[in-house]
Chains A and B, each alone.
Chain A
Amino acid sequence: MSSLALERQIRPIYDALDSGSHKSAIVTCNKLLKKHPKNEHLKALKALALTRAQKFEEAIALCEEVLATKPTDEGTINALMHALRHLGRYADLVKLFEDAFKQQPDNDELGRQAFFANVRAGNWKAAQLLANRLNKQFHNDRYVFWGIMCTVLQANDPMTAVDMREILLKLAHRLILASWKPSEAHADRLYLYITILQQLGLYKDAREVLETESGRFLCSRNIACDYLRRDIMKAGGWQKEEAEVAKQRILEKRDRNWLEFLSVLDATFLPSTLSNGTHHESSSSLPSDFAQHKEKTRELFAKVVEEDGSHDRAGWLGLMELEKLSTTHGVPSDASRLLDLLKRYFDIFGDKTACYEDLRPYTDLDSDSSSDWITFLEDSTKSSGTALRRSINAHKFLRYGLDKARLTVDQESSRVVNLVDEYFEALPLGRDLPKLELQPADDLAILAAQVYVNMFALDNTVAHLHNAVVLLEYASKKSPQSYQIHLELIRIYRLLGAPQPALDHYRLLNVKQIQNDTLSYLILSRSTSFSLAATGDLTYASECLESSHIYFSNSQETAEFVVKAFSMENAFQVPELVVFEERLDNSLQRDLVKIEHVRLRISHEPITTELVDMELIELKFIFDRQHHDNRDLGILPNYQPRGLPSFQSQTTLFGREPAAGWLSAFLKIYIKALSAASDLDPSVEDDKLLIGDRPRQSYSPDASIPLAERLAVHTTEELEELTEDELALFRYMTDLTDWLDPIHNFLRPRPETAKQTAKNDVSSNDGASSIEQGKKPEDAPPVTEPPESILAYFKNSHAKFSRAVEERRPIHEILHIATLAQEASESVILSIRFKDSSVVRINKLGLLVQHIKNLRAGAVEAVGQIGAQLTKISELEGTLDKRKQFVENCKALQAHDEITHEHVLDLGKKLTDSQKKVMEGVGRGIERVCK
Chain B
Amino acid sequence: MSIIRPFKADDLFKFNNINLDIWTETYGLGFYFNYLSRWPDMCCTAQHPSGRLMGYVLGKAEGSQNDFHGHVTALSVAPEYRRLSLARVLMNFLETVSDDVYGGLFVDLYVRCTNTIAMELYEGLGYSVYRRVREYYGSLGLGPGGKDEEDAFDMRKPLSRDPYRRSVRPNGRDMIVSAHDVS
A residues at B contact (CB < 8 Å): 187, 221-224, 227, 256-259, 261, 311-314, 316-318, 352-354, 357-358, 361, 434-436, 438, 481, 483, 509-510, 512-515, 517-519, 550, 553-554, 557-558, 560-562, 564-565, 568, 570, 572-573, 576-577, 579-580, 583, 630, 632, 634-635
Contacts and interface: CB of A to CB of B under 8 A. Distances in A.
Contacts of B89: 256
A632 B1 contact: no
B37 A565 contact: yes
A354 B28 contact: no
Interface stretch (B44-52, B62-70, B121-129, B163-171): B44-52
A514 B79 contact: no
A577 B7 CA distance: 12
B13 A517 contact: yes
Of listed A509, A561, A577, residue having the most chain B CB within 10 A: A561
B13 A553 contact: no
B68 to A, nearest CB: 17
Contacts of B21: 481, 483
B82 interface: yes
B17 A635 contact: yes
Contacts of A572: 6, 40
B33 A257 contact: no
A405 to B, nearest CB: 28
Given A258-B3, A573-B37, A221 B100 contact: yes
B101 interface: yes
A222 B142 CA distance: 42
Nearest to B27: A513
Nearest to B12: A514
A434 B23 CA distance: 13
A632 B17 CA distance: 10
B1 A317 contact: yes
Nearest to B38: A568
21 contacts: A223-B41, A224-B40, A257-B3, A258-B1, A259-B3, A259-B4, A316-B1, A317-B49, A436-B140, A481-B21, A513-B29, A514-B13, A515-B19, A518-B14, A557-B29, A561-B29, A570-B37, A573-B40, A577-B9, A577-B36, A632-B14
**Which residue of A259, A316, A562 has the most chain B CB atoms within 10 A of its CB atom?**
A259
B147 interface: no
Q: Which residue, of A361, A557, A560, A576, has the highest number of chain B Cβ atoms within 10 A?
A: A576
A481 B19 contact: no
Contacts of B114: 434
A222 B101 CA distance: 9
Contacts of B84: 313, 352, 354
A258 B49 contact: yes
Given A227-B5, A518-B16, A311 B36 contact: no
Chain B interface size, as a band, is 35 or more
A671 B1 CA distance: 51
The SS class assigned to the A binding surface is: helix
A353 B10 contact: no
B9 A261 contact: no
Interface in B56-95: 79-85, 89, 93
A357 B1 CA distance: 11
A438 B79 contact: yes
B41 A222 contact: yes
Contact of A573 (B1, B36, B142): B36
B26 interface: yes
A187 B37 contact: no
Contacts of A558: 29, 33
A359 to B, nearest CB: 11
B160 interface: no
Contact of A577 (B16, B33, B81, B93): B33
Given A358-B48, A557-B30, 13 more contacts: A223-B5, A223-B6, A261-B1, A354-B48, A357-B80, A435-B142, A483-B21, A509-B20, A513-B28, A515-B19, A568-B37, A579-B10, A583-B10
Contact of A257 (B4, B19, B22, B52): B4
Contacts of B16: 515, 518-519, 632, 635
B34 interface: yes
B28 A553 contact: yes
A561 B30 contact: yes
A555 to B, nearest CB: 11
Contact of A436 (B9, B10, B22, B41): B22
A430 B21 CA distance: 18
Contacts of B41: 187, 221-224
A256 B84 CA distance: 12
B139 to A, nearest CB: 13
B82 A353 contact: yes
Q: Count chain B CB atoms within 10 A of each CB in A353, A517, A553 and give the residue with the most.
A: A353
Contact of B13 (A221, A316, A518, A557): A518
B8 interface: yes
A579 B9 contact: yes
Nearest to A516: B26
Contacts of B28: 513, 553, 557
A564 B34 contact: yes
A632 B2 contact: no
A510 B36 CA distance: 25
A564 B37 contact: yes
Nearest to B51: A634
A565 B36 contact: yes
B48 A357 contact: yes
A483 B48 CA distance: 20
A576 B85 CA distance: 29
A311 B88 CA distance: 12
Contacts of A570: 36-38, 40
Interface in B132-166: 140, 142
By Cβ-Cβ distance, the 6 closest A-B pairs, closest first, are A561-B33, A580-B9, A565-B37, A483-B20, A314-B1, A317-B1
B67 to A, nearest CB: 23
A351 to B, nearest CB: 8
Nearest to A230: B5
Contacts of A514: 12-13, 26, 29
Given A514-B29, A561-B37, A565-B36, A576 B10 contact: yes
